[in-house]
A and B are shown apart, each in its own frame.
Chain A
Amino acid sequence: MPRILLKDIVKRYGKVIAADIPYLEIKDGEFFGLLGPSGSGKTTTLRIIAGLTKPDKGRVYIGDEDITDVPPEKRNLGMVFQSWALFPHLTVFENIAFGLRLRKLSEEEIRKRVKWAAELLQISELLDRYPHQLSGGQQQRVAVARAIVLYPRALLFDEPLSNLDAKLREQVRFELRRLQKELKITSVYVTHDQAEAFAICDRIAVINKGKIQQIGTPEEIYNRPETVFVAEFIGITRFIKGRVEDIVDESKGIIRVLTEDGLELYSWANLEKVKKGSKVFVAVRPDFISLVSKELKEKNVFKAKVELATYEGDVMDYEIRIGQWRLRFKTPPMYRFQPGQEIYVKLHEDKLIAIKE
Chain B
Amino acid sequence: MYGERRQRIWDLAVIGIVVVYILLPMIVLVEYAFAQKWYAYQLFPSEWGFKWFSWVFKHADTRMAFFYSYTLAPLVMLTTLGLSIPAGYVLGTKRTRLSIFTENLVNMNMALPVIVIGIGLLPLYTRLGLLGNYWALIPAHMIGAIPYTLRSVTAAFMQVPRDLEEAARVLGATRLQVIRKVYIPMTWRGILAGGIFAFSWSLNEFILTLLLGAPAVKTLPIAIYEYVGGYYLTPQPAAALSLFILIPSIVIALFFEKYLQVSLGLGGG
Contacts and interface: CB of A to CB of B under 8 A. Distances in A.
A146 B163 contact: no
A16 interface: no
A50 interface: yes
Given A85-B161, A102-B177, A77 B267 contact: no
In this complex, the member of A75, A102, A150 whose beta carbon has the largest number of chain B beta carbons within 10 angstroms is: A102
B87 interface: no
A88 B186 contact: yes
Contact of A72 (B169, B185, B186, B268): B169
Contacts of B172: 73-74, 76, 99, 102-103, 150
B169 A52 contact: yes
A273 interface: no
A344 interface: no
A41 interface: no
B170 A89 contact: no
A218 interface: no
Contacts of B169: 51-52, 71-73
B186 A99 contact: no
B145 to A, nearest CB: 27
Contacts, number: 69
Contacts of B166: 50, 52, 72, 79, 81, 85
B161 A89 contact: no
Interface string A36-65: 000000000000001110000000000000
B164 A85 contact: yes
A102 B267 contact: no
Contacts of A87: 164, 167-168, 182, 186
B178 to A, nearest CB: 9
A75 B170 CA distance: 8
Given A83-B163, A89-B267, A132-B269, A50 B170 contact: yes
A51 B161 CA distance: 19
B247 interface: no
B102 interface: no
A98 interface: yes
Nearest to B178: A73
A101 to B, nearest CB: 8
Contacts of A81: 163, 166-167
Interface in B149-206: 161, 163-164, 166-174, 177, 181-182, 185-186
A77 B172 CA distance: 9
B171 A150 contact: yes
Nearest to A79: B170
A130 to B, nearest CB: 8
A33 interface: no
A77 B161 contact: no
B177 to A, nearest CB: 6
A78 interface: yes
Q: How large is the interface on B (under 10, 10 to 19, 20 to 34, 35 or more residues)?
A: 20 to 34
Contact of A73 (B161, B174, B267): B174
A204 B167 CA distance: 25
Interface in B39-77: none
Contacts of B181: 98, 102
Most buried by A among B161, B167, B169: B167
B170 A88 contact: no
Kindly name the residue among A74, A75, A81, A85 whose own CB sees the greatest number of chain B CB atoms within 10 A. A85
Nearest to A52: B166
Given A102-B173, A132-B269, A150-B172, A89 B167 contact: no
Contact of A83 (B161, B168, B177, B182): B161
B173 A73 contact: yes
B23 to A, nearest CB: 39
B140 to A, nearest CB: 37
Nearest to A102: B172
Contacts of B268: 88
Interface centre among A50, A52, A82, A89 (most CB of B within 10 A): A89
Given A81-B163, A81-B166, A132-B269, A89 B171 contact: no
A52 B185 contact: no
Contacts of A72: 166, 169-170
Contacts of A79: 166-167, 170
A51 B170 CA distance: 8
Contacts of A99: 171-172
A85 B269 contact: no
Contacts of B161: 83, 85
A185 to B, nearest CB: 14
Interface of B: 161, 163-164, 166-174, 177, 181-182, 185-186, 267-269
Given A72-B170, A150-B171, A156-B170, 19 more contacts: A51-B170, A52-B170, A71-B174, A72-B166, A72-B169, A73-B171, A73-B177, A75-B170, A79-B167, A79-B170, A83-B161, A85-B164, A87-B168, A88-B269, A98-B171, A98-B173, A99-B171, A102-B172, A130-B269
29 contacts: A51-B170, A71-B174, A72-B166, A72-B170, A73-B171, A74-B172, A76-B172, A77-B170, A79-B166, A81-B166, A81-B167, A85-B163, A85-B164, A85-B166, A87-B167, A87-B182, A88-B186, A88-B268, A88-B269, A98-B171, A98-B173, A99-B171, A99-B172, A102-B172, A102-B173, A102-B181, A131-B269, A132-B269, A150-B172
